[in-house]
Homo-oligomer: A and B are copies of this chain.
């Protein structure tokens, strides 16, 4: 049993982390550190926790204890730079849910995030924790950079293809749609119910920070063809739906492809290969990523969908914790029938 510190834990992602920690049989204790919410009681911030999760004060992130075994960090970009080097030096394990350690290059970080990286030496020793991609790196790392929500959905959908057929790809175009929770809990006029009801809009076109993160992985798996990535807001709170159109240089076979995808994820319980395009709601409140592929001659359409706060953030972070500790990767994530057997009732 371990002790966990949650730094910056009272946004939408923090809320999910708290819920997962509370029911995780390997976690004996967790402490929440916040900024604006420091000194508030947890059930005042989240009244829905009343009667379910032990109430406690949020401590100040000025006073993070070094007594915990593992730390989850959910801070705006730049924030983790103040904690990670210290914690790693102290021999701790760290899972950073922000963008500060995702890119391998400090130059690229500066270009996309507008901040000078102060611990670039950690960029290459970290593991980019796309938890459903097989790797034997977990036993050797102490810093995990948890992938962005869009990259998780896009990469899980594309990597099996790129892995096997990169030479065959003429071009790749991803249209990604996200619920508004991805934009956080800060007050904003443009995300009011009044504005977003019945609305959709593209944003950060040709200029989204998740693009270099996606490309970095696609290139590692061999992609050299042009790639585009366009993000949109949906009139829902939760979920990401991504549709990737791949134009091929030569035709692929539908059943071969489904077989390859199935095999690629055969040991990974949270990826489900679907025969038809998934509903976003099949994955809401779960750690699943549902994927379908449809090829017709040289046109290949990949749809993949996740809960942006779970598989795209807190759920994948818990899965990373489990992998980091050498535990069953699904603990607390809802797959063991009589023990913690569900992702949710929802």
Chain A residues in the interface with B (C-beta under 8 A) = 12, 16, 19-20, 22-23, 25, 47-48, 50-52, 54, 170-171, 173-175, 177, 179-181, 183, 185-189, 191-203, 205-207, 226, 228, 230, 232, 234-239, 241, 243, 245, 247, 269-270, 272, 274, 277-286, 288, 292, 294-296, 298-299, 301, 303, 305, 310, 315, 334-335, 337-346
Q: List residues of chain B with CB within 8 A of the CB of A174.
A: 245
Interface of A, helix, strand, loop or mixed by DSSP = mixed
A319 to B337, CA, bound (A): 19
Residue of A238, A281, A284 ringed by the most chain B CB atoms within 10 A: A281
6 tightest A-B contacts by CB? A344-B346, A175-B175, A173-B245, A187-B187, A202-B277, A344-B344
A270 to B51, CA, bound (A): 8
The 11 listed contacts between A and B (C-beta, < 8 Å) are: A47-B274, A179-B198, A181-B194, A197-B198, A199-B279, A199-B280, A200-B234, A200-B279, A200-B305, A235-B235, A315-B345
Contact present for A179 and B194 (CB under 8 Å): yes
Number of copies: 4
Q: List residues of chain B with CB within 8 A of the CB of A196.
A: 193
Chain B residue with minimal CB distance to A296?
A: B206
Q: List residues of chain B with CB within 8 A of the CB of A226.
A: 170, 247, 298-299
Chain B residue with minimal CB distance to A179?
A: B194
Contact present for A12 and B303 (CB under 8 Å): no
CB distance from A235 to the nearest CB of B (A): 6
Contact present for B185 and A187 (CB under 8 Å): no
A228 to B8, CA, bound (A): 43
